[in-house]
Structure 1
Amino acid sequence: MRFKLTLLLLVANIVTFGFIWRNAGGNAETEISAQAFFSADISEIAVSGANGAAAYALERRGRDWFMTQPFAWRADAFAVSRLLNELRFLDSSIGFSVEEAADAGSSLASYGLEETSAKVSVTDSAGTHELRLGKTTPDGRCVYVLSPDGKVIVPAPRSLFNAVAQTPDDLRSREVFSMRPYEIRAVTVRTAFSGGREQRTGLVRVRGNEESPDAAQWRFETPVAAAADSRLVEKRLGELASLGYVRIVSGDAGDSDAYGLKTPGMRFTLDAADRSRTLLVGNADPSDASGETRFAKLENNPAVFTVPAAPVEAWRDAAREMRDPYFLRFDPAELIGITIHDGNDALVIHRMNVARGKAGEAAEDASVPAVAAAPDVGAVAEPRPEIFSEKSAAAANPVYNSWQMPVAPGSSVTAATKVEPEVIAELIEKLRNLRAVRAPGADDPALSAARRRLCDAFVADVATPEDISQMKFNTPLRIVELEFASPDGKTRSQTLTIAPAAEEGTPIHAKTGTSIYSITPEILDDLDAHAAHFRDRLVFTLPEGGKIVGLKLSELDGHLEKTLLREACPEGVADWAEELEKNAEPFPQALAKLIRATSTVVAVSYLPEPFSRSFEDDAYLGMGVPEPWRYRVDVDVLLADGEKNTPGKTETVTYFLTRRLGGTTQLAGSPAQDCIFRIRQDFIDAMHALTFNRSGIIPEISDPDGISADNIRPAE
């Protein structure tokens, strides 16, 4: 019973409360809104000063407000919103009647509300209404307002007076275009030159690329179809879209051409999805001593104003300044072949395991010969260790680690050879980043027009036979043929031709398609037509399960060879280098370094010539002094399935080395790999420890089998 009674009382209270709220609060709110002077859909506002002098007029068009008096201009959204809020919430509930004022001995003049007072005309869905604004109250917090029907005097907040008293300059939008950069889909700039010539530059926004699908991408449609520098276009477009006027000069340009707007020097058109704006830019403002402002007006708007010169002048040569300087844009994953021509030398490089026309698949391509594995222990073991992992991820990236130099017609390669991932990655990235560059001093007015053209970044969009001949493309420095295969099976090719400087002091030039560009010469070092430049830097690594069980270091003197050390791994030791490192003495530490250095031998770079026992280097010291082989290192490698003394299971890898030619330079030769190369610092340091000041590090060599430790014999 108690529960039912409680529930009944709760329901009764809710019903009673709802009835009270509906008949009290609800009606009170309706009564307040009913006493408002204007509805919410105000469409026009006109303000006149004392004695009827017009101040300004505003008109709503769609969602935007525009000033129609004293001249046509887009209104500032914040300033109009401030005025609307004050007018919408003005009502008669806080006022008193004119009759009550008369009974108290006051007239309209007492409150400053006579006929000559300032007026606000407001048009809404119900018609046009007029307010009069009078004096402020004695405490200065309110201003007297006469209602549209002339019956009620309202002490309105002082904020109403402040909102109405805004000047036309306060109510004008400072922005000329009133468009956001992300809205703009196309930009057209017409620039007038002397002699009546006009250049039209058109840009359009296109969809983003695969690398940046959400980023804005811009392209030139005129005067040439080419990619634009999208970041620079966005930056300049942001400056242009936010362009504000400096001062309003006149409400009407009239027939006078003093402003230079009848034949404007520049004409900008910004197109959005639902509207378009055109700005005419004329002469410099003579009243601005700095010369940094220009007369301007909007098309179909008579008002003349001035704008800062810099944001508009930045577009004067947009076709050159905003063009994308990177003219070799491609996806590295689609690149499947590179052929480099250097005079009579040629080098062909292909991606392995990629069928032509199926760059996105890992299908085996029978047309591409596989790299033959060498039968001895000197062959490179796969998978290749990530030697350059600290430097880049090229070794682990299938886009870069699957290239080879096949035997191809015209190529200098005589045997299929794997390409170094780091080198091919660097070449591909440098090709993608190849950019047109204007030569220093290209804008020097003292230069002839022909020479200035040779120094420009974009030399020619449609090269003529005269251009080809004059710029020496008939005798190029390099010709690079790029082959691409897209995932849909389509193939295409692109040729890059690099020519020497046409004249002394001018840049070298590159040509793709019909276009010619000025470039810097650094790319030539990477476009090496010698196979040694691209050869895989991994010379040797221990095969799986193999280990080093013996080392012999010999000093060479012409045709004589002197044994400096001969060491063998003790029986039962799994890791010889690790065991030696436990001994703090100099010799075991130095020997351990050499064992680790010869476990994986990596070339810093290769020399172009093959291995020769009679090799002599005279290039690194720069004095023409020949440097022959000075040392020989023989490394005994025990294969995984063999025993140390079992014939055929232990193989020897041999290296010939020059003396140390510098802090980071020493050459080595591998007969098994038929190459000469610069060794890494770990190999250099290991050799230095065992060959420099040997008497203090290397112990006396025992006399094996009755042969003297100082045995000197003819070198092999």
Structure 2
Amino acid sequence: MRTKVTLVLVFLNVALFYVIFFVQEKWKPATDTSVILGPEVANIQSLTVTDNTTGATTALERRGEKWFQTQPLAWPANELAVRTIISELQFLRPISQFPVADLEKSGLSLATYGLEKPPLTLSFTPATSPGAPAPAPVLVRIGNSTDVSNYLYILSPDGTRIHVVPRTLAESLSRTLQSMRSDELFTIRVFEARSLNLEPAAGSRVRFRRENDKWFIEGLSISLTRANKQLTELALADLRALRVHSFVNPTAPEAEAARAALATPALRITIEGNNRRETLLLGPVAPAASVPSESASQPATLNPQLPDSPPEPATLRYALMETDETGGTTPARATLFTVSIRDKFLNGTLLNAQRELREKQILDLDPSTLSSITIASPQSTQELVLQRLDTSNAWQIVLRNPGREVQTQPADRSIVETLIASLVRLSVDDTPENPGFIDVASEAQKEEFGFNRPARTLTFTGPPAQPPVRLLIASSQDRRTYARLASQEYIYRISDEILRELPVDPLHYRERLLRELPASTTLTALKLTDLSNDTVVLDTSLPLPADTTLNREAIESLATQLRTLRAKNFTATEFTKTVTTAGEERGWKYRLDASLTSTPTSAPVTSTLFIADRSGGGIQLVGSPEFNAVFEAEQPLIEALFPLTYGPRDPGPPPAPAPTATPAP
């Protein structure tokens, strides 16, 4: 039984095989899937499109990886348009076809299909290996449209067959001459640019050079200075946004005069990239002198124009382009065109680039790598050092007093970081009326501006591999403030505010948080003594009993302030037994003793604060032997102390006036 089943299955498989490979082939419609053009279309070197109706011819040539138009004008080609044509040729397949030899039998000819004198012809030359003879051009004639308008007739290169193909080929070839040309001027992208050279006819050459991620200016009276990276790259982006406005007919009367003027251009702009460079020569104003900004390049600005704002004025100028891709064309052979450029960009940015694009931020510091800041002043005998302790951004104050040991105190991190932020933002106060850059300052100028005795000398220390940076800040005879880096020979005018932000007093930078008790530490008792008469104002254990008659709110608030003890400002570098209040040297008014225990079984530790009389509504001095400090109390501590120290003497608010009886009507 199994043998019979096996034989039946084998027979069915053989039958199925026969149907698939013999019978099914006869069911397929006969279609021609062959391409019209041969393998030579895969590597085209040159391409010519002729419109026989108008006589216009566009010739294109590949140089390296780029395409250039050589006729009617020499100019870089529109890469997308050229690649679209090549793609159409590579994948050109007939919908149907018939031999030319059969036309005569039907009483037809090439003229019937528009192929005897075709309206459009295309010829291309394939690339060859070096030294090989140049191959003959491949000619494709494109005739009339078929009765179905989506197709047209073309003649095969050997002239033996007529093909019916989609009319997308003709649409690609019928592009206007303008669309075959690229309208770009600069093709070097911002990230690729290595330098920007500006050579005005009236003025000196200025060169911007990139080093790693920074830009520098060469060509000033000084040897080298920093350029503003963001503004420089925005200027490069604006240059890349420039487009050809129109090409000038070389036989036009104005063309010769424009070329002569461009022999000494108003501005020569050169961008250098990776092994290539491009140069734009800007010449005189073209006849259509003023054009709306819509036809000019759009500014690559961080703050684009609002929709309702008036357009920026722009001017049309004659120009020439020199690029390495065109073999280093010279102005005598280059194509003349016009370009619309915004007046503000040309006159404000490019022609004043050494000022407009110069870095106005004085210090080039990375706050995260700073290890110390030294502040010195001729009015102070001590040198103040702010030193980073570790990578957690903890800072300390290092005091170096002549004849005394070096002292250290914790620094307030927020104050130090605010200071660093102000110094990083320190910039030149530069206006057209009052220039902020003084280049190549003489020794006499340095003395005139106060640098013989600078108000502040700051030294910034970073990674060991980098040398320290010294910044000098001085006040001139005209009471203006100037800054100068010790390694440079030029001076900056800056805002006067910086000196107020740079006190040399170490108390200004000291850590305001004196104590923050951990949760395991308990405040067990408070005792407040009036030292003027040695009387106890308050003596209580904590927490307060439920039936206490004491001011619970004031005592609990005071206990909270003692757990996290902060200073508003420090007034002395160390604790003293007397304090100046209301202009008089006096002893402390109160002593506040707080008992602290870290565990239930440990012996209590007493923490003592001395409190002075209030000097005003918001000032009350506090002294701490434990922290060796005298400081102004913060307002919450002042308010917690008031009911306990002044409360018994406070008469309270005046009584409300008795209500006046209203007479009966």
Alpha-carbon deviation of 1:688?
A: 4.4
Identity in percent: 25
Matched, 1:220 2:217: yes
Matched, 1:568 2:603: no
Aligned twin of 1:459: 438
Correspondence for 2:49 among 47, 50, 59: 47
Matched, 1:651 2:606: yes
Correspondence for 1:158 among 155, 167, 172: 167
Aligned twin of 2:410: 418
Task: Please report the RMSD computed on the Cα atoms of aligned residues, expressed in angstroms.
Answer: 4.2
Conservation of the 8 A alpha-carbon contact between 1:259 and 1:282: no
Q: How far apart in 1 are the matches of 2:54 and 2:548?
A: 105
Judged with a 3 Å threshold, the aligned counterparts in structure 2 of structure 1 residues 109 and 162 are, in CA distance, closer, same or farther, namely same
Conservation of the 8 A alpha-carbon contact between 2:412 and 2:512: yes
Q: How far apart in 1 are the matches of 2:6 and 2:615?
A: 103
Aligned twin of 1:449: none
Conservation of the 8 A alpha-carbon contact between 2:397 and 2:506: no
Aligned twin of 1:233: 232
Judged with a 3 Å threshold, the aligned counterparts in structure 2 of structure 1 residues 485 and 114 are, in CA distance, closer, same or farther, namely closer
Provide, for residues 261-280 of structure 1, a one-character-per-residue CA deviation record: whole Å limited to 9, x for no partner: 21112222222223221221
- Residues paired across the two proteins, number: 602
Alpha-carbon deviation of 1:251?
A: 5.2
| One-letter amino acid matched to 1:42 | I
Alpha-carbon deviation of 1:160?
A: 1.8
SS in 2 for 1:182: coil
Provide, for residues 378-431 of structure 1, a one-character-per-residue CA deviation record: whole Å limited to 9, x for no partner: xxxxxxxxxxxxxxxxxxx646424232344389x9854333333233323333
Aligned twin of 1:98: 100
| One-letter amino acid matched to 2:46 | E
- Where does the alignment leave 5 or more consecutive residues of structure 1 unmatched? 207-215, 355-396, 445-451, 570-575, 619-624, 699-716
Judged with a 3 Å threshold, the aligned counterparts in structure 2 of structure 1 residues 651 and 306 are, in CA distance, closer, same or farther, namely same
Matched, 1:597 2:574: no
Q: How far apart in 1 are the matches of 2:211 and 2:19?
A: 64
Provide, for residues 663-706 of structure 1, a one-character-per-residue CA deviation record: whole Å limited to 9, x for no partner: x65443335545332323432342345457669999xxxxxxxx
Equivalent positions of 1:32-43 (< 5 A) are: 32-33=34-35, 39-43=41-45
Conservation of the 8 A alpha-carbon contact between 1:36 and 1:90: no
SS in 2 for 1:432: helix
- Where does the alignment leave 5 or more consecutive residues of structure 2 unmatched? 128-134, 292-313, 323-328, 653-665
Q: How far apart in 2 are the matches of 1:12 and 1:466?
A: 110
Aligned twin of 1:270: 271
Conservation of the 8 A alpha-carbon contact between 1:332 and 1:428: yes
Judged with a 3 Å threshold, the aligned counterparts in structure 2 of structure 1 residues 404 and 484 are, in CA distance, closer, same or farther, namely same
Conservation of the 8 A alpha-carbon contact between 1:552 and 1:563: yes
Alpha-carbon deviation of 1:201?
A: 1.5
| One-letter amino acid matched to 2:188 | M
Provide, for residues 601-636 of structure 1, a one-character-per-residue CA deviation record: whole Å limited to 9, x for no partner: 111221257655654456xxxxxx989899625123
Aligned twin of 2:397: 404
| One-letter amino acid matched to 2:214 | Q
**TM-score, length-scaled by structure 2:** 0.77
Q: How far apart in 2 are the matches of 1:642 and 1:111?
A: 111
Provide, for residues 198-218 of structure 1, a one-character-per-residue CA deviation record: whole Å limited to 9, x for no partner: 323131241xxxxxxxxx433
SS in 2 for 1:80: helix
Equivalent positions of 1:282-297 (< 5 A) are: 282-290=283-291, 291-297=314-320
Judged with a 3 Å threshold, the aligned counterparts in structure 2 of structure 1 residues 483 and 162 are, in CA distance, closer, same or farther, namely closer
Conservation of the 8 A alpha-carbon contact between 1:201 and 1:318: no
Correspondence for 1:517 among 484, 487, 492: 492
Judged with a 3 Å threshold, the aligned counterparts in structure 2 of structure 1 residues 536 and 651 are, in CA distance, closer, same or farther, namely same
Judged with a 3 Å threshold, the aligned counterparts in structure 2 of structure 1 residues 151 and 694 are, in CA distance, closer, same or farther, namely farther
Alpha-carbon deviation of 1:32?
A: 0.3
Q: How far apart in 2 are the matches of 1:182 and 1:17?
A: 59
Conservation of the 8 A alpha-carbon contact between 1:281 and 1:297: yes
Aligned twin of 2:659: none
Aligned twin of 2:380: 345
Aligned twin of 2:84: 82
SS in 1 for 2:467: strand
Conservation of the 8 A alpha-carbon contact between 1:630 and 1:659: no
| One-letter amino acid matched to 2:189 | R
| One-letter amino acid matched to 2:341 | A
SS in 2 for 1:65: strand
Aligned twin of 1:390: none
Judged with a 3 Å threshold, the aligned counterparts in structure 2 of structure 1 residues 218 and 652 are, in CA distance, closer, same or farther, namely closer
Conservation of the 8 A alpha-carbon contact between 2:396 and 2:408: no
Aligned twin of 1:371: none
Matched, 1:537 2:572: no
Judged with a 3 Å threshold, the aligned counterparts in structure 2 of structure 1 residues 325 and 553 are, in CA distance, closer, same or farther, namely same
Provide, for residues 337-392 of structure 1, a one-character-per-residue CA deviation record: whole Å limited to 9, x for no partner: 433222330443446798xxxxxxxxxxxxxxxxxxxxxxxxxxxxxxxxxxxxxx
Moved more, 400-409 or 155-164: 400-409
| One-letter amino acid matched to 1:127 | A
SS in 2 for 1:283: strand
Provide, for residues 278-320 of structure 1, a one-character-per-residue CA deviation record: whole Å limited to 9, x for no partner: 2212223331324433322112161122233235553333333
Alpha-carbon deviation of 1:643?
A: 7.9
Equivalent positions of 1:79-478 (< 5 A) are: 79-91=81-93, 94-115=96-117, 117-125=119-127, 127-193=136-202, 197-206=203-212, 216-223=213-220, 224-250=223-249, 255-257=256-258, 260-290=261-291, 291-299=314-322, 300=329, 302-310=334-342, 314-332=349-367, 335-350=370-385, 398=391, 400-409=393-402, 415-438=407-430, 442-444=431-433, 452=434, 455-456=435-436, 458-460=437-439, 462-478=440-456
| One-letter amino acid matched to 1:513 | S
Alpha-carbon deviation of 1:537?
A: 1.9
Alpha-carbon deviation of 1:497?
A: 1.0
Provide, for residues 465-488 of structure 1, a one-character-per-residue CA deviation record: whole Å limited to 9, x for no partner: 1320232222422122334451xx
Conservation of the 8 A alpha-carbon contact between 1:284 and 1:294: yes
Alpha-carbon deviation of 1:529?
A: 1.2
Moved more, 626-635 or 535-544: 626-635
Alpha-carbon deviation of 1:166?
A: 0.7
Q: How far apart in 2 are the matches of 1:4 and 1:683?
A: 106
| One-letter amino acid matched to 1:182 | F
Aligned twin of 2:590: 632
Aligned twin of 1:713: none
Conservation of the 8 A alpha-carbon contact between 2:121 and 2:142: yes
| One-letter amino acid matched to 2:279 | T
Q: How far apart in 2 are the matches of 1:633 and 1:246?
A: 85
| One-letter amino acid matched to 2:492 | Y
Judged with a 3 Å threshold, the aligned counterparts in structure 2 of structure 1 residues 138 and 484 are, in CA distance, closer, same or farther, namely closer
Q: How far apart in 2 are the matches of 1:583 and 1:172?
A: 96
Correspondence for 2:570 among 598, 606, 609: 606
**TM-score, length-scaled by structure 1:** 0.72
Q: How far apart in 1 are the matches of 2:589 and 2:21?
A: 105
SS in 1 for 2:468: strand
Conservation of the 8 A alpha-carbon contact between 2:84 and 2:172: yes
Aligned twin of 1:573: none
Alpha-carbon deviation of 1:5?
A: 9.7
SS in 1 for 2:170: helix
Matched, 1:670 2:624: yes
Q: How far apart in 2 are the matches of 1:13 and 1:61?
A: 57
Judged with a 3 Å threshold, the aligned counterparts in structure 2 of structure 1 residues 634 and 170 are, in CA distance, closer, same or farther, namely same
SS in 2 for 1:95: strand
